[in-house]
Amino acid sequence: MKSRSLAFLSLLPIAAFAQQLAGPAIPDQKTIVDTMDLKDGDTLVFLGDSITHQCLYTQYVEDYFYTRYPNMRIHFHNSGVGGDRAKDALTRFDEDVAAYKPKYVTILLGMNDGAYTDFQKPTFDTYQKDMMTVLDKIAAVDAIAVPMTPTMHDSRASRLSGRVLEPRDTYYNGVLALYGAWLREQANVRGLGFVDMYSPLNALSLEQRTKDPKWTMIKDAVHPGPTGQCVMACAILNDMVKKLPVSRTVVSETNGQTSAKATNGTVTNFNSDSSKISFTLTAGALPWVLPPDAAEGVKLTNAGHRFSAERLIIHSLKSGKYDLKIDGQSVGTYTADQLEAGIELEGNEKTPQYQQALQVALLNKKRNDEAYRLIRDQYGTLKGKRRDLQKAIDANDPQLDAKKAEFDQWYSAMRTKVSELTAKAKSYEDQIYSVNQPKPHQYEIAAVQ
């Protein structure tokens, strides 16, 4: 007589039995997106909370694209609102994200979702549910989501200011790490892009505090200043943007003939004699230059070297010192050995390329300060007015009809104001794409007498 187990197995369909033996089916593994492949005419939306509302890391990333890809008209929309959680982003998603038909949407949410306390499972469950919905909505409009970890909560900054709050200042940075780890897993499962904001901010803070125990780039513990926002921009470029050199020009001698070749640039009018070398270089891009208030961040992240790489290499010079002039202006004196190894010019404020890129950055600063930050302020006010109206609806307020009419009137005026500010931002964008075009520059390298 058959045993019970064998009798049971004999009743199973063969396919089901085979599946039981093989174990659960392995789901398809999706390829991770490692680059935002932006083309001419594409739009990148930065979705977030007050840290995005600051219009700083977003501005710095914009500066990179304006200078590195001067011939591609890429559009940027800042969709940050102070105090937002994932559920707030859902409320405004259609008009503030989907309406711009983005190709990519970066997401910086979570700082407020954790409620500034220790880990609370119900709070985390709400964050997961709402963030999954955000990711679903982005996919539904045929855009690619690039979730980013929450940034750092700097408890030392709180303690230095005397505004210590517990359990926030003991636990909250760790809570944000957990939220970020969960978000990374979602990016892996869904095959999305991903940016680690958390680690670079924490690592740089630890490094600097080995020299100055009071150092911080997040004075209020939550909102990074320009230094921290530069670190954040570098994280996006490092994790999700293809790195291309500004230019790489090599002067060398072959079979007694000296010539110059450029990567991402064109060399013309080359001349070489016993006293000097000269040529005209038209690079394909400008160096990534940020406004002066981000100078500390540029230095600490080594941003120029990592993300610009504007190099000049000259082989076979006689020993000695050489003066480099660009458009007749001396930009530095270098030894033959330095020129042989290659000099980097992206951070040299004397070069016309640097000054041109700085013009771009300052125009974009105006675009953000005078237009986009004000647009974000309008959306911040909208959030408050929507909440007030919802309270009136929930309470069956007897003045509800009047309050709805008042809201509708305000909302119409708000949309008009946003349209005006958007047009102002577009005007600055037009100026940027006029100023950011690379120009030919005359180089001259001569021995110092």
pLDDT in tens, 376-402: 999 999 999 999 999 999 999 999 999
Q: Which residues lie closer than 8 Å to 421 by C-beta, 6 or more apart? A: 371, 372, 374, 375, 378
Q: What is the mean pLDDT of residues 291-300?
A: 98
Per the rule left: phi > 0, alpha: psi between -120 and 50, beta: everything else, 338 is alpha
Query: Measured between alpha carbons, how far is 235 from 387 in angstroms, rounded to an integer?
Result: 34
pLDDT of residue 376: 98
Residue 54 scores a pLDDT above 80: yes
pLDDT of residue 256: 83
Q: What is the mean pLDDT of residues 270-294?
A: 96
Going through 81-228 in order, the beta strands assigned E by DSSP cover: 104-108, 144-147
Q: Quick one: pLDDT band at residue 21, thresholds 50, 70, 90?
A: low
pLDDT of residue 6: 47
Residue 23 scores a pLDDT above 70: no
For the chain, percent of residues with pLDDT exceeding 70: 94
Buried b (16+ CB within 10 A) or exposed e, 160-184: beeeeeeebbebbbebbbebbebbb
Q: What is the mean pLDDT of residues 41-51?
A: 98
**Which 3 state secondary structure label does DSSP give 213?**
coil
Query: Measured between alpha carbons, how far is 419 from 322 in angstroms, rounded to an integer?
Result: 54
Structure tokens at 3: 């045993």
- The residue to which tokens 């306390």 are assigned: 117
Q: What is the mean pLDDT of residues 286-309?
A: 97
Q: What DSSP element (H or E) covers 325?
A: strand 321-326
What residue type is assigned to position 357 of the chain?
Answer: A
pLDDT one-digit tens code per residue, 158-198: 999 998 999 999 999 999 999 999 999 999 999 999 999 99
The model's pTM is 0.93
pLDDT of residue 47: 98
Query: Measured between alpha carbons, how far is 387 from 391 in angstroms, rounded to an integer?
Result: 6
Range of weakest confidence among 3-17, 123-137, 186-200, 231-245: 3-17
Residue 448 scores a pLDDT above 60: yes
pLDDT of residue 275: 83
Residue 362 scores a pLDDT above 50: yes
Q: Where are the domains positioned within the chain?
A: 43-240, 247-283+310-345+348-449
CATH of 43-240, one of 3.40.1080.10, 3.40.50.2300, 2.70.98.50, 3.40.50.1110: 3.40.50.1110
- The closest alpha carbon to 124, from 133, 134, 132, 114, belongs to 114
**Are the C-beta atoms of 325 and 331 separated by less than 8 Å?**
yes
pLDDT of residue 274: 80
Per the rule left: phi > 0, alpha: psi between -120 and 50, beta: everything else, 425 is alpha
**Are the C-beta atoms of 432 and 371 separated by less than 8 Å?**
no
pLDDT of residue 45: 98
Mean pLDDT of the chain: 94
pLDDT of residue 189: 96
Q: Quick one: pLDDT band at residue 323, thresholds 50, 70, 90?
A: very high
Q: What is the mean pLDDT of residues 213-231?
A: 98
For residue 248, what are the β-bridge partners?
Answer: 263, 311
